[in-house]
Amino acid sequence: MQSAEPRAGARLSQALPVRIVGGGVGGLAAAIQLAAAGYPVQILEQHETIGGKMRALEVDGTQVPCGPTVFTMRWVFDALFEAAGQSLEQLIRLQSLAVLARHAWSEDERLDLFADPKASLEAIAAFSSPQQAQGFARFCAEAKHIHDHLIDPFIRAQRPDLWSMMHRLGARGLLALTGLGPFKSLWSRLAHHFPDTRLQQLFGRYATYCGTSPWSAPATLVLIAHVEMQGVWAIQGGMPALAQALAQCASALGVEIRCNAAVRRLHVQNDQLHALELANGEQLPTRQMIYNGDVRALAQALLGDAVAQHFRAAAGAPMSLSALTWCLKAQASGFDLSHHNVFFQPDYRSEFDDIFQSQRLPRQPTVYLCAPERLHEPGQAGPEPMLLLVNAAAQRSAKQRSAASAPITEQEIDSCQKRMLQMLKQRGLSLSFSPQQCRITAPQDFSSRFPGSGGALYGPAANGWMATFAREQARSRLKGLYLAGGSVHPGPGVPMAAMSGVLAAEALMADHGLTRRFHPAATSGGTWMRSATISDTGSP
C-alpha cells in the first residue's frame, strides 16, 4: 500500500494541523483519512467522550445504547481501517445477524426478515400469501438494480447534481430510474409491489432512516432493502465500541483528540478561515478545518456571523425526524425478542401526520426496540438493557416555534409511554421496570446536545428525489472550511456520515496537492475493493 506524500509546498502549508470540529463518525473518518496521508490532525470534541450520536447511557449500572444501533455497509469501514493499515475485526467483535428484524402487528401477526432471501420469501408466503412472496422477490430485484446503478455515482461524488448524475449513470442507469419512477414517493412504489399494507409499512420504514415519511421520501430508497440484504451486523458493546475503535485507529496514526473542547467562534479574514476560538477563550490558528456538525449551527450564527452568511440556505431546509427514546433495564415477557424489533399500529399515516403536520407526538406510534443482549443470551431471564424509540417532531427555532411545536412536556411523555406500553402488551410484549431503570431522551435533549440541529437526527429531511442535490457538499463556500456529518452529502446514517468524512478529507487533500490513499470501488457483484483512482473532486 502506498502512502500519499505531500508536495514541498503542501508540507509547508501543513505546519498547522487540520482542525476537525466534532468527534462523531464523520470527524473520526476524516481524521483517519488525513492522518494516513501524512497530515497532522486535531479533533476538537465539545463533549466528554467522542462518538457523537454513537453513545450509551448508564442505566442502573448497565450501559444501554441510546443512538444508532444498526450496522450496515461494512465495506465503508473495512476500507477506512485498511487505509490506516489496520483491520476492523481486530478492533471490534462483529456478528452477522441471521434475523434482520422481527416485526409485529398484533399478538398473532408476526414476521421475521432474514439475511437469507429464501428464508424471507418463505416467511412472507406463510405470513401473507405466495403472491406477496413473489412480489417480494421482484422488489428485491428492483432494489438491487437501483442500488447497483445509484450507490456508486451518488455516494462517491463530491458534488452530485442532476445532470452530472445522469451523465454518470449512462443509458442503462437512466433506464433503471425511468422504470422505477424516481419522482414518485416510496409509499406509492411499495403499493406497486405489495397489496398487503402491512408489508408496505414494513418497507416504508426505510423513509425514517432518512428522517422523513414514506409519503415524502423518494422511491429510490427501495435500494435500502438491498443494503440490508448485503449484511446487518451486531457489534459487541454496540455502536460506541465502533466509535472507540475509530478513535483508537486515529490515535495510532498520531491524531490528537481533545474532549471537552467546545468551539465558540470561527474567525475569518478576507473570506479565508483564520482561527477558531474555544469556549474557554483559547484561540487556535487554522487554515484548513472540517466541521463535523449540523450545518444549521453555522447558518444560525452559532459559530459567528462571518460564517453564517455563507450558509443561509441551510437554515430554511425542512427538518428531519427527531425521536423520543427510552433507555431501559427491563424485564421482558410474553414476546421472543430479537436483536431488532418493530411494533406497528394500524393507521401508519396518522403517525406522520401527527409529527409533520400537527407537530405532536404520534397518538399511534410505531415502536422500535433494540435488545442487544438477545444475540448472546436468547433465553434472557432477568432484566436486560434495551432501547425503545418512537419517532417525534424536531424542535423548531424560537422564530418558527408555535404552541404546537413547543418542547414536549413531561405530561405528554408520560401519556406517550402509557400508550406505547399498552400497544406493546397488545402485541404480546410486557415490560417491567422501575423509574431507576429508565432514562428518557426527548427532542429538546437532542437539540441541546447537538447544537443547531433543533433535535432533528438526520439533518435536512429527504423529501423528494431532488433533496439529494440540495444538501451541502464537502467543500463549503468559505475558503478553508470543509463539511462532514449526516447533515451534508451523502446523507444520514453511520456509514453515510463516515463517507462524508472521507469525502471531506479527499476534497481537502485534492485542494492542497495531495493524492488520495484509498477509495472503495464497486464491482458488479456488490463487493468492494481499493482503487488507485482519485475520486470526483471537481465540477462535472
d(CA 256, CA 277): 17
The answer, yes or no, to whether residue 36 has pLDDT greater than 90, is yes
> Count of CB atoms within 10 A of residue 178's CB?
9
d(CA 451, CA 487): 12
pLDDT in tens, 403-431: 445 789 999 999 999 999 999 999 999 99
Q: Using alpha carbons, list the distances in angstroms from residue 10 to 14, 38, 514.
A: 6, 11, 8
- pLDDT for 168 equals 54
Of 13-27, 171-185, 523-537, the range with the highest mean pLDDT is: 13-27
Burial bucket for residue 28 (CB in 10 Å: 0-12, 13-18, 19+): buried
> Count of CB atoms within 10 A of residue 426's CB?
14
Higher pLDDT, 322 or 183: 322
pLDDT in tens, 53-66: 999 999 999 999 89
> Count of CB atoms within 10 A of residue 229's CB?
21
What's the predicted TM-score (pTM) here? 0.88
Q: Which residues are within 8 A (CB) of 381 and not within 5 positions of it... i.e. 6 or more apart?
A: none
- Amino acid identity for residue 235 in this structure: I
pLDDT in tens, 328-370: 999 999 999 999 999 999 999 999 999 999 999 999 999 999 9
**What is the rounded average pLDDT of the residues 146-164?**
68
Q: Which residues are within 8 A (CB) of 83 and not within 5 positions of it... i.e. 6 or more apart?
A: 1, 32, 33, 36, 517, 518, 530
d(CA 353, CA 199): 20
The answer, yes or no, to whether residue 171 has pLDDT greater than 80, is no
> Count of CB atoms within 10 A of residue 98's CB?
14
pLDDT in tens, 270-323: 889 999 999 999 999 999 999 999 999 999 999 999 999 888 888 778 899 999
d(CA 99, CA 104): 14
The answer, yes or no, to whether residue 517 has pLDDT greater than 50, is no
d(CA 250, CA 297): 26
d(CA 253, CA 40): 9
Residue 154: pLDDT band (50, 70, 90) is low
d(CA 453, CA 488): 13
- The pLDDT mean for the chain works out to 86
Higher pLDDT, 152 or 346: 346
- Of 87-91, 157-161, 483-487, the poorest mean pLDDT is in 157-161
